Amino acid sequence: MGVRNFWREYRRYKIGLIGLAFLAFFVGMAVFAPLIAPAEAYYRWSDITYWEEYPKGVPPEWINFFSAKKSATQFVITRPKFVEKNITFTYNYQFDVPPSDIIIKVSTSATDEERQLSIHVSRPDGKQLDNIVRMMHKGEKTRIIFTSNDVRDWLIAWAREYETDENLEKILGREAFVNPLLILFSKTQPGILLGTAENLKGQYNVIVQLSPPTATTAKAVFTGSVFGLLGTDTLGRDLLVGIVWGSRLALLIGLLTAVLSETVGMVYGVVSAYKGGVVDEIMQRIIETIASLPFLPILIILSYTMQPTVWNLALLMVIFFWVGPVKTVRSMALQLKEQPYVEAAKALGASGWRIIARHITPQILPYFFASVALSVPGAILTEAGISFLMGAAGVSEPTWGRILHDAQRFSATINGMWWWVLSPGLLISLAGLTFVLLGSALDRILNPKLRR
Amino acid sequence: MGYGSYLLFRSANAVLVLIAVVLVSSIIFNASVEKEMVATIEESISIRIASPIYRGLNSTERQELMNLWREQEYKRHGLDQPYWIRVLIQSRDVITLNLGEATIMRSPTGASEVLQIILEALPWTIMLFTTATIIQILLGLYLGLKAAQGVGGLLDRSVSVFAMLSNSLPMWWFGMLMIFALSYGLNLFPSSGKVSIPPPSDPFLYVIDVLWHMALPLITVVFVSFGAWTYITRNIVVGTLQEDFVMAARAKGMPERKVIYGHVLRSASPPIVTMSIFSLLGSLGGAIITESVFSWPGMGRLYWIALQSGDVKVLLGLTFITTFLYLVATVAVDLVYGFLDPRVKVGLTGRKR
């Protein structure tokens, strides 16, 4: 048909162009993944230590556009003021919802002495919190986390005097559910322990005192109550990383499976049709048997025994999907077989394979390309389904299906973490849709019967 | 070939395929499960022997005890016979409809016969998926017909767009979204299970409770699937409306309704009926993933539990039944098609050239 003509035809179909736009989007995402999200985050997806300083289970930042109450975003201070034995972190709090946590990390020069470390906070309303934590510590690194039990208990004790007896009764025995950050960033009014007191905006100074003072570096992370473009999951993992890198696997698996299964199916169908007779019958029976196998259970159980890597899954899917195109290809090849030019070629002494390769197959190629595109969504969906059921099973890297598996495992739906469920599934659907659009456009061009 | 002998030929063919499928499944399931089973047994034996009760034994006595346990466990799980014998015996059993007893699983009522376990799950799948299939067929037919009548119009184009969109949605993900929106968000429906805990004792209320639990999965299945039906119906009807006999009928002055329902639908019925048969019989297999999302106790979920427990008997039984239904559908479809579309019958009788 000629590439130029083909492109002119293709341009007529809006859905094809939309499909191309989507395809460009996904390919761009896959190719530029290392620029959008660091590779290390991808490979260390299952490593909890990497995600230490990320907020756990928070929605994306852009919801601040849509709510009256602005949630605190992630704020990191790496260069506090060092004055004698005080390390001061200044935080100007102007949000309506406080940070989800405060993590303070201090490194000192190595020594065997025990040193004292304590934390003080001065609030905008003039109230001071002294000696929030007092610990003796040895060695190089120390970490204070505000949502830990010690700090929380300390904050509760500090806030008691501002709280009504009635409210104190309410939290009795349920101290573990009190949010320490809400205590810290609220006015000293009744309701402070329940989180219903008013918000206190202004400058907060978090002062770390180390004696003797030999701190080399100190860092404070005010983890956001919102984070990033796509939010985080319960383990603090930035979903943008998983989504963007997951596109690589999705596209790869989809295309690989589609191309392989369609190719095998096409060759099988053509050969079966050409040979005819008994060979054809036998080949068709084999097809029927494979097509009747319950592919999902077998796929699942085979994934149990094999490592659920991209390649294994693609291979398994090909084993089931190749039977798909055979029927159609065979009927096309049967018709083509009767064409006069085939007869002529045979009379000239062309071998069977030559006829298949030179005369029959090229006629089937248009159908082939359209059906490759149309079978990609099936592959992507199947891989997503299997990953959803099986989870990571020893492989660290995330795919969209695995992210959803974790979402289900950590009850994202019941806990209202919509961002965790929405983005992976949406992208799975869009990726599938892309190839449906592409395939439909191709189909309409190359299949003259459907031409408008 | 006459009609009858064709039927015989297809049925014999289907039986062969069924036997082959059971054999292949048996091979695969047994191979996969065996490895897991052996590993689990070894682990449980080593845990058992580590208990302080056996501390006083010397090493030969320990070995003997462990071997004894190993034998018992192997026997219990049916691993005492060599692989191929197991494969063949199990296949033979299943094919002769002796589905046997489950090794590990039990039905909700405590029964251990495989058939019983399956039969307890089947009604739930029928309730959900068959109902959903019926709804989506009717909905799809109606909308597809309406869309075809107004070709190129708003309804028609929306139908095509919607069909493409809903086809790309993973059904189970959409189920999660539904749980979000209607269960967590609006608190209209429960998020899982077939009945509340504790279930209401009054039978009428019990039925209502089940229906209430069924609402979300039903909405999910129908929403994701009816688009395809609508699209296919629309295409078939559009094609049929272009036929000459439709123009002739209209020229005769026949009311439009009669043209559509009397002539067009009858001509379009072969593919629609065959697809319906396939869908209805296929619905009996349930859907493994969607049922798991909703914890709906149907055949799909049974399959999943069997896969996780490694209960080969149940797996084979389920495979047998679902494949059997699929093949029945294939044969039925062939026959019904020949019955509805006389042109095909001519092709059948003219088969042997």
DSSP structural state of residue A53: T
- Give the C-alpha separation, B93 to A252, whole Å: 42
Task: Report the amino acid identity of residue B219.
Answer: I
* CA neighbor of A239 nearest in space, from A385, A425, A102, A430: A425
Q: Verify whether the Cβ–Cβ distance A407 to B176 is below 8 Å.
A: yes
Which pLDDT belongs to residue B350? 43
Neighbours of A142 (CB within 10 A): 19
Chain B residues touching residue A404 (CB < 8 angstroms): 173, 176
- Strand A215-223: give its sheet, edge to edge: A75-77, A215-223, A101-108, A141-145
* Closest Cα in chain B to A14: B161
Please give the distance of CA B215 from its chain centroid, rounded to a whole number: 19
Q: Verify whether the Cβ–Cβ distance A381 to B170 is below 8 Å.
A: yes
Average pLDDT, chain B: 81
Would you place residue A60 in the very low, low, confident or very high pLDDT band (cuts 50, 70, 90)? very high
Asked if A254 and A377 count as a contact pair (C-beta separation under 8 A), the reply is: yes
Q: Verify whether the Cβ–Cβ distance B285 to A429 is below 8 Å.
A: no
Q: Verify whether the Cβ–Cβ distance A301 to B21 is below 8 Å.
A: no
Model pLDDT for residues A186-210, shown as the tens digit of each residue? 888 888 888 788 888 888 988 888 7
The SS3 assignment for A101 reads: strand
Asked if B263 and B270 count as a contact pair (C-beta separation under 8 A), the reply is: no
| Most confident by average pLDDT, A241-245, A278-282, B144-148, B269-273 | A241-245
Chain A residues touching residue B35 (CB < 8 angstroms): 305
Model pLDDT for residues A361-409, shown as the tens digit of each residue? 777 888 888 889 888 998 999 888 888 888 766 677 888 998 999 998 8
Identify the burial level of A365 via C-beta atoms within 10 angstroms of its C-beta, where 0-12 means exposed, 13-18 middle and 19 or more buried.
exposed
Q: Residue A338 phi/psi, 5° resolution? A: -85, 0
DSSP structural state of residue A49: G
Identify the burial level of A280 via C-beta atoms within 10 angstroms of its C-beta, where 0-12 means exposed, 13-18 middle and 19 or more buried.
middle
Asked if A333 and A361 count as a contact pair (C-beta separation under 8 A), the reply is: no
Neighbours of B311 (CB within 10 A): 24
Higher per-residue pLDDT: B321 or B101: B321
Chain A residues touching residue B184 (CB < 8 angstroms): 413-414, 416
Partner residue opposite B21 with nearest CB, options A292, A300, A389: A292
Residues whose CB falls within 8 Å of the CB of residue A127, separated by 6 or more in sequence, listed in order: A188
B176 touches chain A (CB under 8 A): yes
- Give the C-alpha separation, A268 to A280, whole Å: 10
Would you place residue B300 in the very low, low, confident or very high pLDDT band (cuts 50, 70, 90)? confident
* CA neighbor of B92 nearest in space, from B19, B195, B25, B151: B19
B39 touches chain A (CB under 8 A): no
Partner residue opposite A292 with nearest CB, options B165, B172, B326: B326
CA distance A13 to chain B (A): 14
What are A335's strand-pairing partners?
none
B324 touches chain A (CB under 8 A): no
Tokens linked to A430? 């869009």
Q: Verify whether the Cβ–Cβ distance A293 to B25 is below 8 Å.
A: yes
Q: Residue A108 phi/psi, 5° resolution? A: -125, 170
Partner residue opposite A421 with nearest CB, options B168, B169, B176: B176
Partner residue opposite A289 with nearest CB, options B21, B293, B315: B21
From the DSSP assignment, how many helices (H) and strands (E) are in chain B?
A: 15, 0
Asked if B195 and B210 count as a contact pair (C-beta separation under 8 A), the reply is: yes
- Give the C-alpha separation, B138 to B125, whole Å: 19
Buried b (16+ CB within 10 A) or exposed e, A210-225: beeeebeebbbbbbbb
Which pLDDT belongs to residue A138? 65
CA distance A50 to chain B (A): 29
A407 touches chain B (CB under 8 A): yes
CA distances from B301 to A329, A334, B172, B206 (A): 36, 42, 13, 22
- Give the C-alpha separation, A38 to A240, whole Å: 10
Asked if A429 and A360 count as a contact pair (C-beta separation under 8 A), the reply is: no
Would you place residue B348 in the very low, low, confident or very high pLDDT band (cuts 50, 70, 90)? very low
Interface pTM, i.e. ipTM: 0.82
What are A86's strand-pairing partners?
A83, A209
- Average pLDDT for residues A56-65, to the nearest whole number? 91
Which pLDDT belongs to residue B353? 40
Q: Which of A301, A323, A408 to mutate to test the interface with B (most CBs of B within 10 A)?
A: A301
- Give the C-alpha separation, B93 to B319, whole Å: 13
Higher per-residue pLDDT: B11 or A215: B11
A282 touches chain B (CB under 8 A): no
Partner residue opposite A413 with nearest CB, options B191, B303, B322: B191
Q: Which of B40, B151, B173 to mutate to test the interface with A (most CBs of A within 10 A)?
A: B173
* CA neighbor of A208 nearest in space, from A157, A155, A146: A146
- Give the C-alpha separation, B120 to A228, whole Å: 48
| Most confident by average pLDDT, A145-159, A342-356, B56-70, B300-314 | A145-159
A440 touches chain B (CB under 8 A): yes
A408 phi-psi bin (left φ>0, alpha ψ -120 to 50, beta other): alpha
Max Cα distance, chain A (Å): 104
Q: Verify whether the Cβ–Cβ distance B315 to A302 is below 8 Å.
A: no
Asked if A413 and A397 count as a contact pair (C-beta separation under 8 A), the reply is: no
Please give the distance of CA B170 from its chain centroid, rounded to a whole number: 16
CA dihedral of A393, A399, A402, A406, whole degrees rounded to 10: 110
* CA neighbor of B88 nearest in space, from B35, B36, B27: B27
Which pLDDT belongs to residue B11? 85
CA distance A445 to chain B (A): 17
- Give the C-alpha separation, A76 to B70, whole Å: 58
Q: Verify whether the Cβ–Cβ distance A297 to B318 is below 8 Å.
A: yes
Does the pLDDT value for residue B349 go beyond 50? no
DSSP class per residue in A257-314 = HHHHHHHHHHHHHHHHHHH-HHHHHHHHHHHHHHHHS-HHHHHHHHHHHS---HHHHH
Which pLDDT belongs to residue A427? 93
B199 touches chain A (CB under 8 A): no
Partner residue opposite A293 with nearest CB, options B13, B21, B307: B21
Residues whose CB falls within 8 Å of the CB of residue A394, separated by 6 or more in sequence, listed in order: A307, A308
B249 touches chain A (CB under 8 A): no
Angle between helices B3-49 and B342-349 (to 10 degrees): 90
- Give the C-alpha separation, B210 to B208, whole Å: 5
Neighbours of A94 (CB within 10 A): 10
